[in-house]
Chains A and B, each alone.
Chain A
Amino acid sequence: MTLSELKQGAIGIVKEFTDLEMSVKLMEMGCLPGEQITIARVAPLGDPIAVNVSGYQLSLRKFEASTIILQ
């Protein structure tokens, strides 16, 4: 399952990434393997989404979320 398929409010754990370039940016922002992640909100038009990770809130596009594979 990828992060883009996670339901709002559900908790996931980051496992790995499908895109190396994107993963580097995501990991810098605290989105690392083993880290707990929840979907906080979806933008009014359905994209992007806001997630809680590493103690703060991060927004990313659905496409970017789809490169994050959850455990």
Chain B
Amino acid sequence: MKTDLRVALVGNPNTGKSTLFNTLTGLNQKIGNFPGVTVDKKTGYCTLPDGRTAEIIDLPGTYSLYPKSQDESIVFSILADKSNPLTPDLVVVILDATNLKRNLLLYTQVADLKIPVIVALNMMDLAKKSNISINVHLFAKKLGVPVIPVAARKGEGIDKLKEAITFANKIALQEESIDVESIAPKLIAQITKEFAIDNSYYALQLAHQHETIKFITPTQSERIEEIEKEFSFHSQKAQAAETIARYNFINDLLYDTVKIPETAKDETLSNKIDKILTHRVFGLFIFLGILLFMFQSIFSWSAYPMELIADGFVWVQSALHHLLPAGPLTGLVVDGVIGGLSGVMVFIPQIAILFAFISILEDTGYMSRVTFMMDKLMRKVGLNGKSVVPLIGGFACAVPSIMSTRTIENWKDRMITIMVTPLVTCSARLPIYILLIGLVVPNRNVWWLFNLQGLALTGMYVFSLISAVVVAFAFKLVLKGRERGYFIMELPVYRMPRWNNVAYSMYERAKTFVLQAGKVIIAISVILWVLASYGPGDRFAKIEKKYSQPQYAGYLSADELGRQIRSEKLENSYAGVLGHAIEPVIKPLGFDWKIGIALITSFAAREVFVGTMATIYSVQGDAENMETVQHKMKVAKDPETGRPVFSLAVAFSLMMFYAFAMQCASTVAVVYRETKNWRWPAIQFAYMTVLAYTASFIAYTLLK
């Protein structure tokens, strides 16, 4: 789209920046990446009153230009680097009118970069409610920039803001906030001279950030280092002096322009809510209750739409089978591609519901309280208060949970959370556990109350949480932290969730999931389909020939004959050959070549196990026909020993394998997407496979 003006939104977290962005751009926005880094870039378009189009960039929320995370370092790079193609013509700084003091720190820093800037004074409605009176006219005069009062959630003042953007000056006219030069006069003079910079604050920031910013060359960085040594510049001391000077300026400014009544300091509604929600005793129980409700809803609310989606795909597949001529290409398209697609699509309801909950918990401010309550517990095992949410979400599906780890700012904590989340028993493991437990665990009660099968299943869930905690602890010891861990975090006041934001988050996450993970799933399904449908040499032709002989064709019904042919073809397909090839490796775990095929095919997704077992034991249908699969598996005998294939030892060995193994292409894809480095999914795949093999081996050896 052609744009006439580029506008960047800058502000603290929790100031309503995203709401303002959504209001300005409508749904006319897209999410991409900032060049060279993994930070999401949100851009949108806004038509101005004079007919021009403005491109709006939503920069990550930050408390200051001194970055504490990669997301935050983007803000300075975009604002300061004139050669950056995304450098804005105008910056809109969003200030929370109810919390001006801390918000103004970032404003003064941005203003001192001498970029044209205007101020959106958000949450004016809430400020009025708390009887905070702001002399906007004087405030604007003292800053020397247009100040527009808005209430982004109510849509108030948006037209005025658009007008201000339209008529904004092309040159920076803001007043000086502090005397920047006085912080490090000689250093600033030297850098401005050598690097031909016309702005003192930019020069000072270069001295602070030269080691991390990407837009200067290593030689330039070395030169800045030399200048720092020459004038004995101490970064943290300089930053401390600067921050104190800025707050002095802010205190003077607020003293003249803002009146906060004493009553506003009384107990607020937010505090009253907190007394209950973070109560010493009830706090944790309420959290547990909310989790149980969330967990239940993800399962129960998604069951019906998931069934609809699955049925819809079955209908499309059978319709296409009728419409298209039978042949390998039809098979590839209908069974390979569409079959693979259905595997992706059925997860949409779970993802949408999980993200609706997460977005509500974040929007209301409750998520910060969960983090606050759980931090001590989680820290002991190398996680972080913020890891609780992805871990719980992992019961539904690891894919959206791994996406939700973005709320964890600390790099090491986030990586550990990503690495252990797939260990939590997700919904795809459920059909496998139910099938295997039903095979070997008797369906009777102990102590009148507890059903043995139920106990076994609950045991698998508890086991998964324990293993996640243990593995997290191991990673804590191995991984080196890049930055010192902090928990200096704002606890925002409670607010009502923005429902359109919830809906948008559901839509956005589902779309991202389908597009990103979908590609990988489709590719793997196609490969698996080919491997299971074709065999080496003329093996398939020989099978066809064998079964066309009268002793088969005559005695067996057409259905039975078809099943036998399919079963024998599978054994001789590439997948079957592979199964036989890996048999020596999996023999110590108690698995035969048939289970080997299922292990290979279920790499794409765990639930494929049941379907593969069904095919191998030549039963028509899939997961829907579980009774019959179970029956066939129960009577299956080892051809050599004559003993049942699925003994207690084999079944538990298999469950251990599925508890640990990374049998999920979507998770691999999403871990790559979130870490932008193949090393992480590779490490994860390797450690989980090793654990799976070991646990399986131990289970089989002990129970044999």
Contacts and interface: CB of A to CB of B under 8 A. Distances in A.
B490 A23 contact: no
A58 B491 contact: yes
A59 interface: yes
A45 B280 CA distance: 8
Contacts of A60: 487-489
Contact count band on B: 35 or more
A20 to B, nearest CB: 5
Contacts of A24: 66, 236, 239-240, 243
A21 B417 CA distance: 26
A54 B239 contact: no
Contact of B376 (A40, A43, A54): A43
A43 B237 contact: no
Interface in A1-57: 20-30, 32-33, 40-48, 50, 54-57
Contact of A44 (B68, B280, B489): B280
Interface in B459-517: 484, 486-493
B283 interface: yes
B372 interface: yes
B364 to A, nearest CB: 15
Given A27-B244, A55-B101, A50 B372 contact: yes
B368 A59 contact: yes
B237 to A, nearest CB: 7
A45 to B, nearest CB: 4
Interface in B62-106: 63-64, 66, 68, 98-102, 105
Contact of B64 (A28, A32, A57): A28
Interface stretch (B31-39, B271-279, B304-312, B547-555): B271-279
B561 interface: no
A19 to B, nearest CB: 10
Contact of A48 (B99, B279, B375): B375
Contact of A47 (B247, B284, B376, B490): B376
B532 interface: no
A69 to B, nearest CB: 15
B213 interface: no
B488 A58 contact: yes
B383 interface: no
B486 A25 contact: yes
Contact of A41 (B99, B244, B274): B274
Given A25-B68, A27-B243, A29-B63, A58 B376 contact: no
A39 to B, nearest CB: 13
A43 B277 CA distance: 11
A23 B372 CA distance: 21
Range of interface residues on chain A? 20 to 34
Given A44-B284, A50-B372, A21 B484 contact: yes
Interface string B274-308: 11001111011000000000000000000000000
A26 to B, nearest CB: 6
A29 B486 CA distance: 13
B279 A27 contact: no
Contacts of B278: 41, 43-44, 50
A64 B486 contact: yes
Given A27-B243, A28-B66, A41-B274, A48 B376 contact: yes
Contact of B101 (A27, A54, A61): A54
B120 interface: no
Contact of B99 (A22, A50, A55): A55
Contact of B488 (A29, A45, A46, A47): A29
A40 B271 contact: yes
Interface string B576-591: 0000000000000000
Contact of B279 (A25, A40, A44, A55): A44
B247 A64 contact: no
A12 B372 CA distance: 22
Nearest to A20: B236
Contacts of A61: 375, 487
Given A43-B278, A57-B490, A27 B240 contact: yes
B373 interface: yes
A44 B281 contact: yes
Given A21-B484, A25-B68, A50-B372, A57 B63 contact: no
A64 B486 CA distance: 8
B565 to A, nearest CB: 63
Interface in B383-411: none
B698 interface: no
Contacts of A41: 274-275, 278
Contacts of B247: 27, 30, 32
Nearest to B239: A24
Contacts of A44: 278-281, 283-284, 373
A59 B372 contact: yes
B440 to A, nearest CB: 40
Given A43-B375, A44-B280, A64 B488 contact: yes
Contacts of A30: 101-102, 105, 247
B436 to A, nearest CB: 38
Interface string B99-117: 1111001000000000000
A22 B484 CA distance: 10
Interface string B44-76: 000000000000000000011010100000000
Given A20-B236, A28-B105, A43 B243 contact: no
B278 to A, nearest CB: 6
B504 to A, nearest CB: 27
A26 B489 CA distance: 10
A59 B376 CA distance: 13
A22 B63 CA distance: 15
A25 B69 CA distance: 13
Nearest to B68: A25
Interface string B348-379: 00000000000000000000100011011100
Contacts of A27: 240, 243-244, 247
Contacts of B237: 20
A21 B376 CA distance: 22
B9 to A, nearest CB: 20
A40 B372 CA distance: 13
Nearest to A50: B491
B103 to A, nearest CB: 9
Given A28-B243, A58-B491, 13 more contacts: A24-B240, A25-B486, A28-B66, A44-B373, A47-B375, A48-B372, A50-B278, A55-B98, A57-B491, A58-B489, A59-B368, A59-B488, A60-B489
12 contacts: A21-B236, A32-B243, A41-B278, A43-B372, A43-B375, A45-B377, A50-B278, A55-B260, A56-B102, A61-B375, A64-B486, A64-B487
Interface of B: 63-64, 66, 68, 98-102, 105, 236-237, 239-240, 243-244, 247, 260, 271, 274-275, 278-281, 283-284, 368, 372-373, 375-377, 484, 486-493
By Cβ-Cβ distance, the 5 closest A-B pairs, closest first, are A30-B102, A57-B491, A45-B376, A27-B243, A61-B487
